Structure 1
Amino acid sequence: MQSVDRAVCVLEILARLGEVGVTELAAEIGVHKSTVSRLLSALEDHELVEQAHERGKYRLGFGLLRLSNAVSGQLDVTQQGREICERLAVEVGETVNIAVLRSHYVVNVDQARGPRSVGSHNWVGELTPLHATSSGKILLAHMSEDARREVLGDAGLKRYTDRTVTSLDELERQLKVVAEDGYVISTEELEPGLSAVAAPIRDHAGMVVAALSVSGPVYRLDDDRAHDIVPAVVAAAVAVSERLGHQG
């Protein structure tokens, strides 16, 4: 068991640092270099690591792709996020949704309700506009500029409330901030009285594949409360991302 644990440590260090030498690995794990050499040799036999001969250092090998491909087909963002969303809903007391892009809309694919949100609207399966929702802004902010303009060209910028952003330039400015901050707060942009906070969910390659949001009535989820729960929302989105294989 000790050897297995050390071998996993080696893989995690290589994933974090890239190319690493035997001496550095030994120091990281706290064992003799000969022990690390034996571990690397065993991992190399299974193509889980490989040596960069020109530098004499080791890096992750292509054998890991066989394992990751076997797992990736089984990973579903709703399945991996369910428990995390339920915990977050209990923690913040509001409705938690996971949403993905479908055509030029956002579709909510899973929902968990907190103790204060019983009887709230069920958003699962509903198509909502990208530009007027917190989840939509997360997805838009992490698209390429060309893809974003194409999607918005098809969708348009319909006004839903007096707070809905209908200027493309203003929306682009907001999305730049969203991409930099790693979260967004949306207040009464889709419906009067509805506020939401969202953060990105990433896959194993670092691509944003979904958004995790917390929504609730403005009288409970006002601006101060929304900012207070940002760390919890971001942490939950990161936790789901890690389950999808994202290294961070």
Structure 2
Amino acid sequence: MAQAAGGRTLKRGEPVSKISQVEDKGAATHNVRAVSRALRVLKSFAGKSGQTLAEVTVATGLDKGTTRRLLLTLMDNGFIMQDAQTQQYRLGFAIRELAADVTGDFDLRALALPILNELAAELHITAFLSVYDNNDAVCLERIHDMRGIEVHWWAVGGVLQFNCGGAPKLLLAFRPDNEIDEVLKRPMAALTSKSIVEPEKLRAELMRIRKRGWELAVDDVALGLSAIAVPVRDTAGEIVCALSIAGLTPQLVNRGKPVHLERMQRAAGELERRLRAGH
């Protein structure tokens, strides 16, 4: 969450228009308004591997000069980096450092990290740990295998829209029906031709995921890439987080079925045991 003008707390993923309304009601100082705008720039990268200056300007609703100054300031502090070849901006390593320090009653990331490392090294893929937070699917950790393909489309600390990807759909599928109803009211963008953008079609898919207890997402975030996601539950049976892996579709899919599903379920079971033991 971020603190906005007037002391109001802005929820993660709150529309830019609402942030603008808060600022218009009277930011007491220039510094608070500047922080709010910088956060708006960072949030514009949710679900995106990179953006041009023009794209950030459109996404935030800020003018080009202000957007450029904010990007440069964030770059100086490690929150944004720029690709020298494409000139695109992307989230920087400072985001990972901050996300690594986010803890609840237990350090979920620390407990999951050895398991993620094992999955990445064994399967030569990218492994993710994610949670449902304030109506967003948030990536807590991402581990690459140096010998396999590195999937970069979901950065640590970043959010991914619920109609795309394995873990976001899985996390949403197990939420109460009234929360699902609210999420399905949001506009849904297609990242590829395989992305689901019709609310009722997505609702039906969520019910299938809930019934079978896992998700295989093929080509809906990037063509040629797939993801397998499984839930991690607490002692009461509630979903705590999701473990997922992503890689080239031939690595993860065989005749329409997930190749490493049993391995992922064993990994989820191991994390559940660690959560119960607290170590």
Fold-level match, TM-score > 0.5? yes
Stretches of structure 1 lacking an aligned partner (at least 5 in a row): 1-71
Q: Please list, as runs of the form range in 1=range in 2, the aligned pairs for 1:43-58 lying within 5 A after superposition.
A: none
Q: Which residue in the other structure is 2:36 paired with?
A: none
Q: Which residue in the other structure is 2:171 paired with?
A: 139
Q: Which residue in the other structure is 1:221 paired with?
A: 252
Greater Rg, structure 1 or structure 2? 1
Given candidates 135, 139, 142, the residue that maps to 1:108 is: 139
> Given the alignment of the two structures, is residue 233 of structure 1 paired with residue 264 of structure 2, yes or no?
yes
Q: Which residue in the other structure is 1:97 paired with?
A: 128
Residue 212 to residue 116, structure 1, CA distance change in 2 (3 Å):
same
TM-score (structure 2 length as normaliser): 0.57
What is the identity, as a one-letter code, of the residue corresponding to 2:241?
A: A
Q: CA deviation at 1:76?
A: 2.2
Q: CA deviation at 1:208?
A: 0.6
Bigger relative contact order, structure 1 or 2, given CA contacts below 8 A and separation 6+?
Answer: 1
Stretches of structure 2 lacking an aligned partner (at least 5 in a row): 1-102
Given that 1:77 and 1:240 are in contact with CA atoms closer than 8 Å, whether structure 2 keeps it comes out as no
Q: Which residue in the other structure is 1:5 paired with?
A: none
Given candidates 171, 184, 201, the residue that maps to 2:202 is: 171
Q: What SS class does the counterpart of residue 156 from structure 1 fall into?
A: coil
Given that 2:149 and 2:247 are in contact with CA atoms closer than 8 Å, whether structure 1 keeps it comes out as no
Determine the C-alpha separation between the residues in 2 that align with 1:89 and 1:185.
17
Q: Which residue in the other structure is 2:193 paired with?
A: 162
Q: Which residue in the other structure is 2:241 paired with?
A: 210
Q: What SS class does the counterpart of residue 125 from structure 1 fall into?
A: coil
Determine the C-alpha separation between the residues in 1 that align with 2:107 and 2:256.
31
Q: What SS class does the counterpart of residue 242 from structure 1 fall into?
A: helix
Determine the C-alpha separation between the residues in 2 that align with 1:239 and 1:222.
23
Q: Which residue in the other structure is 1:151 paired with?
A: 183
Residue 158 to residue 120, structure 1, CA distance change in 2 (3 Å):
closer
What percent identity do the matched residue pairs reach? 25
Q: CA deviation at 1:163?
A: 0.6
Given that 1:202 and 1:244 are in contact with CA atoms closer than 8 Å, whether structure 2 keeps it comes out as no
Determine the C-alpha separation between the residues in 2 that align with 1:103 and 1:203.
19
Determine the C-alpha separation between the residues in 2 that align with 1:104 and 1:159.
19
Q: Which residue in the other structure is 1:85 paired with?
A: 116
TM-score (structure 1 length as normaliser): 0.64
Q: What SS class does the counterpart of residue 131 from structure 2 fall into?
A: strand
Given that 2:130 and 2:139 are in contact with CA atoms closer than 8 Å, whether structure 1 keeps it comes out as yes
Q: Which string of whole-angstrom CA distances, capped at 9 and with x for unpartnered residues, describes residues 72-101 of structure 1?
A: 965222111111111111221101000112
User: RMSD in angstroms over aligned alpha carbons?
Assistant: 2.3
Determine the C-alpha separation between the residues in 1 that align with 2:276 and 2:105.
12
Q: CA deviation at 1:120?
A: 4.1
What is the identity, as a one-letter code, of the residue corresponding to 2:274?
A: R
Given that 1:78 and 1:98 are in contact with CA atoms closer than 8 Å, whether structure 2 keeps it comes out as yes
Equivalent pairs, count = 174
Q: CA deviation at 1:165?
A: 0.9
Q: What SS class does the counterpart of residue 251 from structure 2 fall into?
A: coil
Determine the C-alpha separation between the residues in 2 that align with 1:191 and 1:152.
22
Determine the C-alpha separation between the residues in 2 that align with 1:189 and 1:76.
31
Determine the C-alpha separation between the residues in 2 that align with 1:185 and 1:194.
11
Q: Which residue in the other structure is 2:161 paired with?
A: 129
